[in-house]
Structure 1
Amino acid sequence: MWKNVSIRSVFVALIVLLAPAVLSGQSKRPNIIFILSDDHTSQAISAYGNRYVQTPNIDRIAREGVLFNHAMVTNSICGPSRATLLTGKYSHKNGYPLNEKQFDNTQRTFPGILQQNGYQTAWIGKMHLGTLPRGFDYFNILPGQGKYYNPDFIATPNDTVRMNGYVTNLITDLSVSWLNSRDTTRPFMLIVGEKATHREWLPDIPDLGVYDSIHFPLPATFDDNYPGRLAAAHQDMTVAKTMRLKEDLKVHLNYGKNAYGEYSRFTPEQYAPFYQYYENKVSREFDSLHLSGEALSAWKYQRYVKDYLATARSLDRNIGRLLRYLDSTGLAENTVLIYGSDQGFYMGEHGWFDKRFIYEQSLHTPFVMRYPGVITPGSVTNGFMLNIDWAPTLLDIAGVKTPADMQGTSFMPLVNGKGDTSTWRKEMYYHYYEYPEPHHVSPHFGIRTQRYKLVRFYGPADYWELYDLQKDPQELKNIYGEKSQARNIADLKKRLKALIVQYDDKEALQLFGEGK
C-alpha cells in the first residue's frame, strides 16, 4: 500500500502531525517578568525582617518562591547595575562604570538574545542608560531618572509623551496594557523598571503620612564617627549634613508659581494634598521644634525614613496589581516572576543614605523569585548570587545557551534542587568607580567571603580595609593593620587577585600591588 507514496509526501505528513507538538513545546517555554526597582533596600521589606512596615506583595513572591539572603551587586550604583543586568558582565567589561554616560546598546544583551530565540521582549519604565533600548519588540521608558508626578515617557526616538498621574501606577498601567496586546503565540520577557524608591522620595497621594504614627528607632550605627576608615569619614552622604531640609524633606518647599523641580508639573488635585501635608503639617512641626545638633539629625532621619517607606508602599501595591493580573489571566502558572532592586541602600546605617560602598547595606540587594513547578515555595538560599548572574539565569530559564563572554553563571542550581552546588562561588568581587560627584565616595575594589571583607581604596583614599563579618557584622572596626591578621590578609589578597584575573579587571590588577 505504500509503494505509490513518495518519500516527500511521508515527510510532509510527519511535519503536519508533529507541528502541533512542536508549537506546544515552544508555548510552554516560561514567560519572564523582572520587576527592577531603584534604591529599594532589603531593610525596608518585611520578608527580610522589617517589623515596622509590611510589603505583602513582595512577601508573597518570596512565600511562593525563593528569597535570596546574599544577592549582591558588583558595582552599587543605578545605571551600571542595569548595564550589568543586560550584559551579564562587570562594569569594566560592558563599558558602563559610571552614571550619566551612554550605554553601548550595540553590544550583545540577554533581551536581544531572547528576541532572536522567539521571545517577545519589552522594557517599560526607568532604564537610565542614556540610550534607547535595543533588542526589544517594545519599550516605553522614562527619560533619565524620570519624574514621580506626570512623567514623560519615550516610546519611539521621536515620541516623548507626558502622562498624567503617579509614575509607579503609570508604569503598571503600561505594563498591563502591553501584556494585553502582546503576541500570545510567543513567550514574553518583560522588564518593569520602577523609579521608586529613588531620591527625592515623593509618595503617592494616598500614602502621604501613612507612617507618621510610627517612631522608627535610629540604627545602632547612626552616630558612627568612622575611626580607622578614611573613605567612610570623607564621604558626603550623611542624613545629618548632606540631606537637604528643603529639597529632600520638603520643609517649606516652593510649590508656587516658580515651584521647585517636578512640583511645577502638579495638577491642582495633586498640589492641594501635597501642600496640606508638607507645608501645613511637616513644615509647621519643624518650625515649632527649633531643632539643632543631634535632635535635628534625629528629626531628619524620621522624615527621611517615613517618606522613603511611603514611596515604597506604592511600589509594593503595584506589584500586587501585577500578581493579580497574572492570576486572573492564567499566566501565573507559566510565568517566572522576579522582584529585585538595582542595589541596596542605607537607611541611616553609619548615618548615611545612598549606596556606593562595598559595605553590607549597599552591597546586598533584595531578590525574590517565583517559578511555579520548579522552585519550592518558601525556599531560602544563602548562596552568593551576583547581578552578573541575572542574564545567564534568564537565558537558562528560556533554554538558551549563555554566550561565553558573559561573566555570570545561571543560579538555577541554587533554587531548583538540581545540579551540584558544592562548587558554587564562596566569594564575590566588587568594583566601584564614581568619584568625586555626587557623594565623594572613594573608588574601591574588594572581595567578600563568607566571613571576611578585604577592600582596596584608591584615588583620594589610598589604603586597605579588612573586616571580620562574624565578629563585626556592622563593619565598624578595620582590622587590616593587626599583626594577627597577617596570614589571613595574605590569603585574602591571593583570592582577590585571582578574582581580578578571572574577571579581567586590568585597572584593578595594576592598582593591586600599590597602596599602604
Structure 2
Amino acid sequence: MKPIYSKLLYSIAGTASLAALASCSEKKADEHRPYNIVYIMTDDHTQQMMSCYDNRYMETPNLDRIAQDGVRFTNSFVANSLSGPSRACMVTGKHSHANGFTDNTTCVFDGSQQTMPKLLQKAGYQTALIGKWHLESLPTGFDFWQIVPGQGDYYNPNFITMENDTIQEQGYLTNLITELSESWLDKHKDSDKPFALFIHHKAIHRNWMADLKDLPLFEDKTFPLPANFYDDYEGRPAAASQEMSIDKDMDLIYDLKMNRSNKDSRLKEMYESFVGRMTPEQKAEWDAFYDPIIEDFYAQNLTGKDLTNWKFQRYMRDYMKTVKSLDDNVGKVLDYLEQNGLMDNTLVVYTSDQGFYMGEHGWFDKRFMYEESMRTPLIMHLPKGFDKKGDIPQLVQNIDYAPTFLDLAGAPIPEDIQGVSLLPLLKGETPQSWRTSLYYHFYEYPAEHAVKRHYGIRTERYKLIHFYNDIDVWELYDLQEDPSEMHNIYGTKGTEELATQLKQELVDLQKQYKDTAALSLNGF
C-alpha cells in the first residue's frame, strides 16, 4: 500500500484550506508556491563517479554544490536499468509493465497516455524538454521540446524540433544542450507561469567521447582494478553468460578509439561514423591527441591481463573526461539560476537514468539488478521553505519523481501512479509507513550484452532475484555481509525462512503493482 501522505491531493483552489490542516513545515513550504522545477538527467552516470558519493576517482565540484546545499539520497534506485524504460518510468511514475515501455528493442512509447508533464500542464505549468528523449515516439506534454534522435551524437549532433524538422547544430552535445536550455529560459519562458524544464543529457553514455578541451585530462592517473574485477561468477550462471566484460566485449576501436586503417572490429564502422561528423578542425585536434596513444598501444602488442588492464585504464579516463564536461555544464545551469534570482523558488534535481559498472565484476554497462546498475545518484537543491539538508536514507525509486513533482506543484496525484511523493522527506519528516522494499524488472533479452531477463526485490539488507525465460535461477544476497554480491546464498542451509519471507514480499509487490505476468513465473 502507498503511505497515506502520498494520497494527499492538492489543488490550486484548495491549497489554503489544506494548509490550515498541515504541519508547520508544510505551511512554511507552501507559502512559496508555485515552485519551478529543473530536472537534469544524464545517461549511465554512476555514483562511483560523483565525488559527493565517492571520492576515489574524480572530483565533481558542481554536482557537489547541489548535494552540499541540499539533499543527497543514499538509497536511490531505478525500476529497470535501461535508458528508455527508465525514462518511461520517470515520466509516468509507473513500472515498465504498466507504462508499456519495457525495453529498447521492441517498444515505442505511447505518448497518448497519462504522463507527469501533461499533469503539470493542467496544473498551470509551462513545460520544456531539451536533449535525449530515447522513447522512439515524439514527446507529448511539453510546451517546448528539442530532442536528439535516438542516442544522439556527441559532435555536431542532429536535433528534432517541434516542427518535426531535423537540424544540425555545431559543437559538443553536452554544451549545446545547456545552451539550448538557457536559451529557452531567456526567450520562451512565460514569466506568469511556473515552469518545469527537463534537461536530458546523452553524457555519459557509451562510447564516452570527451569534449576536445578535456582530452588531455586524467592521463596521469592510474586506477586500481576493483577487487572483484576477475570475478569467476561461481553460483551465478546469468552473470557468467553476459557479454559486457571489459576483457572480452569492450571494443578497442568503438569504445577505446584505437582506430587504424589496417585494424578491424565489430563496431569500427559505427565509430568512424561518429568521428566523421567532426569538422576538419575538430578531427585534427582529435587525431593529434589519439594518434600517439594508438601508436604506443599497437607497439606494445599487449595480451592477456596486461591488455585487459590497459583497456580498463583507458575506459576510466574517457569516462571521467565525459563526466568533467557534464559537471561543468551543471555548474553553468546553477550559475544561470543564481544570476537570475531563480534558486529560491526552484527545485533542482540531478540524477541519472541508471547506474553503471566501472569494472566491478569485470564489467561496463548496466542492466543487471546488482547494486552498481540498479543504484543511481539523486541529489536535489531545495527551494526556500524546505529546511531539510544532508542525507536522506529511505529507499526511493525513479517512479517516485512524477508524484513528487506533482505534489510540489499542488497538483492531484492520480491513483494509478505507482510511485510515492518524496515531498515529506524533503520537508525533513521521517514517515513511519515508508516502504521497506523495492521492485525491479528487466526485460531486454536477447539483445546487446546478453543479460538474462529477471525481476526481484531489494530490501534494506537483502536482495532476491529470479532469472527467467531461457533460465530458471534464483539468487539471494545479504548486502550487509556481501555488498559486492559475490556469494549467492539462495538454497544454502539456514536461508530457507529468509527466502520464503522475501518471496512472499516479492509476490506482495507484484500484486501491488499488478505485474501479473511476473506473478505467473514465480514457480512456488
CA contact (8 A) 2:32 2:345 kept: no
For 2:411, the equivalent position in structure 1 comes to 400
Deviations 1:194-229 (A, max 9, x none): 000000110001110301111011111100010000
1:272 aligns with 2:272: no
Q: For 1:158 and 1:513, how far apart are their aligned partners in 2?
A: 48
Q: For 2:462 and 2:195, how far apart are their aligned partners in 1?
A: 41
Q: Please report how far the alpha carbon of residue 296 of structure 1 lies from its aligned counterpart in structure 2 after TM superposition.
A: 0.5
Q: Please report how far the alpha carbon of residue 422 of structure 1 lies from its aligned counterpart in structure 2 after TM superposition.
A: 1.3
Q: 2:221 aligns with which of 214, 217, 224?
A: 214
Q: Please report how far the alpha carbon of residue 27 of structure 1 lies from its aligned counterpart in structure 2 after TM superposition.
A: 8.5
Q: For 1:230 and 1:102, how far apart are their aligned partners in 2?
A: 31
CA contact (8 A) 1:356 1:432 kept: yes
CA contact (8 A) 1:66 1:375 kept: no
Q: For 2:331 and 2:406, how far apart are their aligned partners in 1?
A: 26
Question: Which residue identity is paired with 1:496?
Answer: L
Q: Please report how far the alpha carbon of residue 378 of structure 1 lies from its aligned counterpart in structure 2 after TM superposition.
A: 4.1
Question: Which residue identity is paired with 1:232?
Answer: A
1:459 aligns with 2:459: no
Question: Which residue identity is paired with 1:480?
Answer: Y
CA contact (8 A) 1:45 1:54 kept: yes
What does residue range 68-467 of structure 1 map to in structure 2 within 5 Å?
68-100=73-105, 101-181=107-187, 182-252=189-259, 260-280=272-292, 282-376=293-387, 378-418=389-429, 421-467=431-477
Deviations 1:52-111 (A, max 9, x none): 311011100000100011110010000001001110000000000001431000001010
CA contact (8 A) 1:346 1:355 kept: yes
Q: CA, structure 1 residues 197+253, in 2 after alignment: closer, same or farther (shift >3 Å)?
A: farther
Q: For 2:496 and 2:215, how far apart are their aligned partners in 1?
A: 53
Superposition misfits of 4+ residues, deviation over 2 angstroms: 25-28, 256-259, 372-378
More displaced, 100-109 or 349-358?
Answer: 100-109
Q: For 2:241 and 2:191, how far apart are their aligned partners in 1?
A: 54
Deviations 1:395-454 (A, max 9, x none): 011111111110000012222124x51110111111000001101101001111111111
CA contact (8 A) 2:351 2:376 kept: yes
Q: For 2:419 and 2:373, how far apart are their aligned partners in 1?
A: 20
More displaced, 97-106 or 140-149?
Answer: 97-106
CA contact (8 A) 1:84 1:387 kept: yes
Question: Which residue identity is paired with 1:383?
Answer: Q
> Aligned with 1:260: secondary structure?
helix
Bigger Cα Rg: 1
> Aligned with 2:299: secondary structure?
helix
For 1:7, the equivalent position in structure 2 comes to none
Q: For 2:93 and 2:160, how far apart are their aligned partners in 1?
A: 25
Q: For 1:368 and 1:275, how far apart are their aligned partners in 2?
A: 37
Q: For 2:51 and 2:280, how far apart are their aligned partners in 1?
A: 35
CA contact (8 A) 1:199 1:248 kept: yes
CA contact (8 A) 1:443 1:458 kept: yes
Q: For 2:347 and 2:523, how far apart are their aligned partners in 1?
A: 44
Flag structure 1 segments of 5+ consecutive residues without an equivalent: 1-24
CA contact (8 A) 1:429 1:448 kept: yes
Q: For 1:28 and 1:266, how far apart are their aligned partners in 2?
A: 45
CA contact (8 A) 1:247 1:253 kept: no
Q: For 2:471 and 2:465, how far apart are their aligned partners in 1?
A: 11
TM-score, length of structure 1 as denominator length: 0.92
CA contact (8 A) 2:32 2:384 kept: no
CA contact (8 A) 1:69 1:382 kept: yes
For 1:16, the equivalent position in structure 2 comes to none
Q: Please report how far the alpha carbon of residue 276 of structure 1 lies from its aligned counterpart in structure 2 after TM superposition.
A: 1.1
CA contact (8 A) 1:46 1:55 kept: yes
Q: 1:494 aligns with which of 470, 495, 504?
A: 504
Q: CA, structure 1 residues 378+427, in 2 after alignment: closer, same or farther (shift >3 Å)?
A: same
TM-score, length of structure 2 as denominator length: 0.91
CA contact (8 A) 2:254 2:270 kept: no
Question: Which residue identity is paired with 1:492?
Answer: L
More displaced, 458-467 or 319-328?
Answer: 458-467
CA contact (8 A) 1:257 1:264 kept: no
Question: Which residue identity is paired with 2:279?
Answer: T
CA contact (8 A) 2:33 2:409 kept: no
1:478 aligns with 2:481: no
Deviations 1:29-62 (A, max 9, x none): 0100000000000000000022331101110000
Q: Please report how far the alpha carbon of residue 268 of structure 1 lies from its aligned counterpart in structure 2 after TM superposition.
A: 1.5
Question: Which residue identity is paired with 2:348?
Answer: L
Q: For 2:361 and 2:278, how far apart are their aligned partners in 1?
A: 35
Q: For 1:450 and 1:253, how far apart are their aligned partners in 2?
A: 49
CA contact (8 A) 2:148 2:160 kept: yes
Q: Please report how far the alpha carbon of residue 460 of structure 1 lies from its aligned counterpart in structure 2 after TM superposition.
A: 2.3
Deviations 1:1-24 (A, max 9, x none): xxxxxxxxxxxxxxxxxxxxxxxx
Question: Which residue identity is paired with 1:149?
Answer: Y
Question: Which residue identity is paired with 2:274?
Answer: E
